[in-house]
Chain A
Amino acid sequence: MRVVAREGPRVVLAVLGVAVVVWLVIKAAQGGSTFLQVTLNGITLAALYFVVAAGFTLIFGLMRVVNMAHGSLYLFGGYLAYVAQTHWYSGGTSQFQLGPTNNIGVMGFFVPLVFATFVIGLVGLGIQQLFLRWNQGQDLRQALITIAISVIFADQMIAHYGGVVESIQAPTSWPSSILIGSFRYPFFRVVVVLGAALLIGLLLFLLIRRTLFGMIVRAGVDDRAMLSALGVNVQLVFAGAFFIGAMLAGLAGVLGGTMISVGPGLDTQFLLDALIVVIIGGMGSLPGAAIGALALGLVQSYSTIYLHFGSVNLTNYGILASFVLVIAVLAVRPLGLFGRPA
């Protein structure tokens, strides 16, 4: 009986998983190019989620800090790049008045991107040094502090940037879409965002697995106090990791602000997405963040299109599919796919 009780959820989930796959295969057979488009939507969204979640999970893995202001850093990064672009390259006089030229060169995209990424890294570093450093090991206090910071950031951003949804312009010289098989797909999504995510994944892998900094980070994930007792300056490593993690949030904000938009509310949305990704993948695991992002992106993409059953339209409930995913993963692996006990 006990074996049955333990295996029960797994059997149910396996049946559910098989049903989802069969259903997707049927959908794929029905409309080939639509299915491919929806899949690409999911993968490119996943790429964006990965960049956000990689920073989140790096910070958590090393410092056990759940940075609830990560979404704010994401959105602030988007706004910074947007304002930099309108002021420096679009001849705009304020963030609400675009200038006469709307011709954005390659530099007009990359300079704001690098600027915003770097500044957000510094903002994150400031938050860590000012508010988190003296609270090490006090998870609840750190969560509350970062929630407070995120609330303040959200209001300040509405006050400064207004409630209008904007978007950052990709360079005018880049094509807006490319031909994939039988349909056209946005160039920025599939080439730039996906390419950036793959590049960042590779760079982070090399940083963590091949460099001394990465070795110290991995050791710190195992035991921070021991690392300190060996004479390693753990505070310096923490600061570096927080800087990198925040930079990734800022970079994702710029990519997301170009791919989708920048506007109020996206901070909490992306914080939630990052949380789901790392819960699925396992807190602190980089491969986990990649798999989790892929799962979440695909589930969100499929559920907003395919939750039709005859005349019953459930696409409005698509958001719930993300949580079904979380429940399903946690029922089988309570620490996430790649999670390890602390």
Chain B
Amino acid sequence: MAVAAERTETAEPILRLRGVGRRFGGLQAVDGVDLEIRPGERRALLGPNGAGKTTLFNLIAGEFPPTAGTIELFGEDVTETPARLRARLGMARTYQQSRVFVGLSVEDNIYLSVLGVQTGHVFPLRSAKRDAPLRAKARAAAAEVGLGGRLDSLVGELSHGERRQLAIGMARAAEPRLMMLDEPAAGLSRGERQILTELLLALPSDVTLLLIEHDMDVALRVAQWVTMMHDGRVVAEGTPAEIRANQTVHDLYLGSRYYDE
């Protein structure tokens, strides 16, 4: 950990992908992706449906290994490291469909997230209620995403938007150095999207953010740097302004709405 921290200070990339590819049978979902993300960066990953964004996320998170290339996280080669150990290195993610535990309360959900990154947590017979420091962290994270008043609600009773907030709260509570959010604004109302954008803008500057987002207003307001994917490859990289001006990007993705502006 000490080594990783030192590298952070010298602004070495927090995440580095070299020639990463993933093949599912005959489908090359991700192909030769090189990506470097520096500490504190706010990066958006754009691209049409089927461009391989979520597959790339899964590769970085360790859901499955790549069929080509290497992945370095915090300066360590994690290409073959299982997901839970990557989480302990300081990486947290959300899913396109909010994956939360519907049978547990809001507080227990976040508590599990705080707990997961601790070592030796599966002490079997410890009471789940008596764990004051971690519980306090969980409650603080809930308050941060606007769920402070719903700690004891079963997650099954939450609205779609609240589940999204919870998913982000869970990712936040683990105090990761790298947060990866997969379409956090999907299915949210205009008002909820506004809350979400502010939530993301309020993240501490030492948290690195990698974001897949279809909603341009959210993505281009939050991100400082944009990577554009198509057919499993990176086709363009640049600032939001450069991406807006890029002809390839227009043709592929942004369509007439941004063309007209």
* Structural contact, B84 and A211, CB atoms closer than 8 A: no
The contact string, 1 if C-beta is below 8 Å from chain B, for chain A 213-233, is 111101101110111111111
Please, how many angstroms separate the alpha-carbon atoms of A226 and B92 in the complex? 11
> Interface centre among B88, B102, B112, by most A CB within 10 Å?
B112
A248 to chain B, nearest CB (A): 16
Q: Is B101 among interface residues, defined by CB-CB distance under 8 A?
A: yes
B102 contact set on A, CB distance < 8 A = 222
By beta carbon, the residue of chain A nearest B118 is A231
Binds B, one of A43-51, A115-123, A181-189, A234-242: A234-242
Among A224-266, those with CB < 8 Å from B are 225-234, 236-237, 240
Knowing A218-B103, A223-B101, A231-B174, say if A213 contacts B84 (CB, 8 Å). no
**Contact between chains at B112 and A230 (CB < 8 Å):** yes
The residues in B between 98 and 132 inclusive whose CB is less than 8 angstroms from any CB of A are 99-104, 108-109, 112-113, 115-117, 121-129, 131
- Contact B116 A231, beta carbon cutoff 8 Å: yes
The reply to whether B121 and A232 form a contact with Cβ atoms under 8 Å apart is: yes
A222 and B127 within 8 A (CB): no
Determine chain B's interface SS by DSSP, over half rule: loop
Instruction: Known contacts A218-B104, A219-B112; decide if A230 and B124 are in contact (CB<8 Å).
Output: no
Q: Are A232 and B103 in contact (CB under 8 A)?
A: no
B61 at the interface (CB under 8 A from A): yes
Report the minimal beta-carbon distance from B180 to chain A, rounded to whole angstroms. 10
Closest Cβ of chain A to B257, distance in Å, is 34
The answer to whether residues A231 and B128 also contact, given A216-B112, A216-B122, A219-B104 and a CB cut-off of 8 A, is: no
Q: How far is the CB of B138 from chain A (nearest CB, A)?
A: 12
Check B100 against A215 for contact (C-beta < 8 Å).
no
A240 and B99 contact, Cβ closer than 8 Å, known pairs A218-B104, A230-B87, A230-B117 = no
Q: Give the distance in Å from the alpha carbon of A211 to the alpha carbon of B174 in the complex.
A: 21
Q: Is A210 an interface residue (CB 8 A)?
A: yes
Instruction: Name A229's contact: one of B61, B108, B109 (CB within 8 Å).
Output: B61
Contacts of A161-218 to chain B: CB distance below 8 A: 207, 210-216, 218
Contacts of A232 in B (CB 8 A): 84, 112, 115-116, 121-122
| B87 proximity list for chain A (CB < 8 A) | 229-231
User: B104 near A222 (CB under 8 angstroms)?
Assistant: yes
Choose one: B92, B95, B125; the contact of A211 (CB below 8 Å).
B125
Is A212 in contact with B174, judged by CB distance below 8 angstroms? no
Bound state CA distance, A1 and B194, in angstroms?
48
Q: Is the CB of A213 within 8 A of B127?
A: no
Residue of A218, A228, A237 touching B83 (CB-CB under 8 A): A228
Binary CB contact string for chain B from 167 to 192 against chain A (1 if under 8 A, 0 otherwise): 00010001000000000000000000
Tell me which residues from 40 to 76 in chain A have a Cβ below 8 Å from any Cβ of chain B.
Answer: none
* Chain A nearest CB, measured from B51 CB (Å): 22
The distance in angstroms between the C-alpha atoms of A229 and B113, with both chains bound, is 9
From 264 to 290 in chain A, residues with beta carbon under 8 angstroms from any chain B beta carbon are: none
**Residues B113 and A230 in contact, CB atoms below 8 Å apart:** yes
- Could you say which residues of chain B place their CB within 8 Å of the CB of A227? 101, 112, 116
- The answer on a CB contact under 8 Å between B126 and A212 is yes
**Are B124 and A231 interface neighbours, CB within 8 A?**
no
Contact across chains for A215 and B108 when beta carbons are under 8 A apart = yes
A-to-B contact residues, CB < 8 Å: 207, 210-216, 218-219, 221-223, 225-234, 236-237, 240
